[in-house]
Amino acid sequence: MRVLHVSEALGGGVTSAVTAMVEATPEVDHHLFARPRQQHDIGIEPARHFASVHPMSGNPASAVLALRSVVRQLYPDVVHAHSSVAGVLVRMAMLDRPSIVYSPHCFAFERRDIGGPSRRVFRAVERVLAPRTDLFMAVAPQEMDLAADLGHQSMAYVPNRAVTEPRPVAEHADRLRIVTVGRVCAQKDWRYLVHLKRFVDDHLALDATWEWLGDGDPEGERELDDAGIDVSGWIPREEVLDRLASAQVYVHTAAWEGAPISILEAASLGLPLAVRSIPSLDSLALPGLSVGVAALAARIESLVGEPAWRAASDSSLDLAGRHSAEAQARHLMRAYQRATGAVALPGVSAVPTWLGQTGTDGGLRGAGGAR
């Protein structure tokens, strides 16, 4: 099977997510058509992971023409669009032969940094293009509900996973090091982290250091620094993982998400999680989910004691185990086979049983799409 991956937003978590899929399925001939986001570079070199790499223009019309040319060269069985914009480009290109698989990695209409009219336009575009999708591939069960509401008929859940080299897991310490990872931006909601830090300072006698691993919005960096949260600036991915492994708590305060790789990377290192409750992350049944700043602060405070910390660390390792390369490969191959018609399955539940819902190993739901 040959798969052409398409992304106009190659960088950060999307790069990690696509790379993980590629490494989990070496039996697939993977190719890439993408436009990298230099400001989101995480040190993963695409040429090492794909049989061929084709650059995408920033001009949408040129990108569509180039995509059609690449498809004529490669004859892929599947064109897999990653991100909302790539989903529009691929489905507007009117590709005849390959099956179209679409993974938004968080729909554009879930953004909270744009107005309601823009979100309604994005949702309407998704609804119009849904019939041109052979398979919608979700990275969080909540995405399946959103996709069904848009009219998608064939859907699959394929878990994200962390791609990390073996390294020692985190250890408890009397003084907590609290870290988060990502770009300082609206999606990651640095303001919420500032609010959380100030609430902890005002209401809890917590001996801890706070660090944001990454860079981004200058205003956000200044406010984080003013609140006593150290901003590392851009650092190589391996150093990010090393700093995670030396921390005691991973806190995640994003306002909207798909299934962030940073949480899974922290979990793979046995780092206890303190995660702001939002619908997509609730659907993943993550440990450490907390509703509101007070509950999130209480979660962090509970990790001061070593027995509670070790129990939380075990829960993180269990989460990482459920998002293994083997699980991802199994779900991904079944999804691609379903998209191309290589397997014909009746409608079944979309999510695995460990998420607390009735499901099957395939993680598939619905009938095939039509373009």
Mean pLDDT of 250-260: 91
Alpha helices in the chain (DSSP H): 12-24, 60-74, 84-92, 116-129, 141-150, 190-203, 218-226, 237-245, 261-268, 279-283, 293-302, 306-322, 325-340
Q: 87 and 113: one domain?
A: yes
Mean pLDDT of 237-261: 91
What is d(CA 54, CA 68) in angstroms, rounded to the nearest whole number?
Answer: 12
The answer to whether position 311 is within a domain reads yes
Q: Does residue 370 carry a pLDDT above 60?
A: no
Other beta carbons within 10 angstroms of residue 364's beta carbon come to 26
The answer to whether position 169 is within a domain reads no
- Give 146-179 pLDDT, tens digit per residue: 999 999 989 999 988 888 777 788 999 989 999 9
Average pLDDT, the chain: 86
| Cβ-contact 276, 253 below 8 angstroms | yes
Q: 252 and 215: one domain?
A: yes
DSSP secondary structure, 83-112, as one string: SHHHHHHHHHTT-SSSEEEEE-SS-GGG-S
Q: What is the phi/psi pair of residue 310, to 5°?
A: -65, -35
Structural domains of the chain, count: 2
Q: 47 and 130: one domain?
A: yes
DSSP secondary structure, 186-237, as one string: TTTTHHHHHHHHHHHHHH----EEEEEES-B-HHHHHHHHHTTEEE--S--H
The answer to whether position 17 is within a domain reads yes
**Which of 36, 31, 33, 47 lies closest to 12, judged by CA?**
36
Q: 145 and 285: one domain?
A: no
Element (H, E) at 136: strand 135-138
Instruction: Report pTM.
Output: 0.84
The answer to whether position 171 is within a domain reads no
The answer to whether position 38 is within a domain reads yes
Q: 12 and 37: one domain?
A: yes
Residue range of the domain that includes 73: 2-161+324-366
What is d(CA 8, CA 17) in angstroms, rounded to the nearest whole number?
Answer: 14
The answer to whether position 371 is within a domain reads no
pLDDT of 359: 37
pLDDT of 168: 81
pLDDT of 352: 54
What is d(CA 91, CA 290) in angstroms, rounded to the nearest whole number?
Answer: 38
Q: Residue 182: CB partners within 8 Å, gap ≥ 6?
A: 12, 13, 188, 212, 213, 214, 254, 260, 262
- Give 1-46 pLDDT, tens digit per residue: 999 999 887 766 778 888 889 998 999 999 999 887 654 444 556 6
* Boundary of a domain, candidates 307, 322, 337: 322
Residue 238: pLDDT band by 50, 70, 90 thresholds?
confident
The token duo for 88 is: 């529009």
Q: 15 and 154: one domain?
A: yes
Q: 309 and 348: one domain?
A: no
pLDDT of 348: 36
Residue 239 DSSP SS3: helix
Residue 52 DSSP SS3: coil
What is d(CA 275, CA 176) in angstroms, rounded to the nearest whole number?
Answer: 16
pLDDT of 346: 43
Q: Does residue 75 carry a pLDDT above 60?
A: yes
| Cβ-contact 336, 3 below 8 angstroms | yes
Q: 313 and 329: one domain?
A: no
Q: 149 and 16: one domain?
A: yes
Please report, for the domain that includes residue 217, its CATH number. 3.40.50.2000
The answer to whether position 348 is within a domain reads yes
Q: 140 and 27: one domain?
A: yes
Q: 312 and 229: one domain?
A: yes
The answer to whether position 71 is within a domain reads yes
- Give 210-227 pLDDT, tens digit per residue: 999 988 899 999 999 999
Q: 17 and 157: one domain?
A: yes
Amino acid at 157: Y
Element (H, E) at 2: strand 2-10
| Cβ-contact 252, 151 below 8 angstroms | no
